[in-house]
Chains A and B, each alone.
Chain A
């Protein structure tokens, strides 16, 4: 990005209180800010810094810290810099503000995060289920949901017993370790 752009951006970002900026590389900028300050940052980026493109909103479940991390990836067609704004919100109750009024595509991502993580976004146009309409369990992307355990309890597997295996068993050989067993050992 050009020097002028870079300076403008830095000056602008200083308006946000408590912002912490890290440059991963020339085209990636990481901004860590307090959750309350995010709407102001986004409004600023969109309104005054040409960041019109919301690339994605990612959610990370930091279960040990009892927090959700929300990451807003924004791209400016003019500066060609991707800003990732990181905020942390408490895992309980897991409610945050929607940024739909600033970025329209946020509706999709927020709806997705809501059904996968159970984070509720106040003000989002639609928080109904989309992908998991026929899923009754907990939000599956939460770290405390163990997919493999659920599968093992719900489904059964093929019980192969081909002739070669019968022959081997007659000779005293046979199955030594199943893949499921070594997975359980590793855990």
Chain B
């Protein structure tokens, strides 16, 4: 894929060092707890797995029990559910969407296709490994997973958020060069998004040694002022 290898990526597994102030600890835990109990899932069906989401959302399996509701705009959504294969055309929109979402944000890859290409592994039109383009917090196996499996997965994610382990969104800032490289590999070197990830990384103080690199240099060289997306009629 790109020159950066996944193995170079240091996995951010270390538990966050607890602050000495017990009050702050309690506060942190409270924040995590609240986060895990109220999540908005972006209403964007990327692939076939989306067909099992309406059952999961509605009366029969009722994910509102868990405090999860669909949300129509990425700016207010917490969870990006990638429901199955992403065609290259969709992947661009997925990345745009992901970058628009406010941190903390969580990505769930559903179905085989997000892991290793799934049944479309020979297809020229779909991307194969989702985590090369955006960091993924959780995978749910199945083709497609049943609503029960989706709900089980969401509960897992809640548990992870509660213990402050679902931090893959930080990885996007810390290893932006890797993700950008893979995106450029697929979309060409002219690829740019309206969101200033590097700037955001600075703001969140998540700029790491791998945030910048050869790919971000390419980005800088091609970056041009934002224009409205092509809207030819």
Contacts and interface: CB of A to CB of B under 8 A. Distances in A.
The short answer to whether A and B are in direct contact, CB under 8 Å, is yes
A147 B124 CA distance: 5
B21 to A, nearest CB: 40
A164 interface: no
A139 to B, nearest CB: 11
B128 A133 contact: no
Given A156-B1, A157-B116, A158-B116, A147 B88 contact: no
Contact of B123 (A136, A137, A145, A147): A147
A134 B89 contact: yes
Interface string A138-152: 001000010110110
Given A134-B88, A134-B89, A155 B1 contact: yes
Interface in A152-167: 154-158
A158 B122 contact: no
Given A157-B116, A158-B129, A137 B124 contact: yes
Interface in B110-150: 115-117, 121-125, 127-129, 132
A173 to B, nearest CB: 22
A157 B124 contact: no
Contacts of A134: 88-89, 92, 187
Contacts of B129: 155-158
Interface in A61-106: none
B59 to A, nearest CB: 36
Contact of B117 (A140, A145, A157): A157
A176 B88 CA distance: 33
Contacts of B187: 134
Contacts of A136: 188
A147 B186 CA distance: 15
Interface of B: 1, 88-89, 92, 115-117, 121-125, 127-129, 132, 185-188
19 contacts: A134-B88, A134-B187, A135-B125, A136-B188, A145-B124, A147-B122, A148-B122, A150-B124, A151-B121, A151-B122, A154-B185, A154-B186, A155-B1, A156-B1, A156-B132, A157-B116, A157-B117, A157-B129, A158-B115
Given A156-B1, A156-B129, A158-B116, 17 more contacts: A132-B125, A134-B88, A134-B92, A135-B88, A147-B123, A151-B122, A151-B123, A151-B124, A151-B128, A154-B186, A155-B128, A155-B129, A156-B128, A156-B132, A157-B116, A157-B117, A158-B115
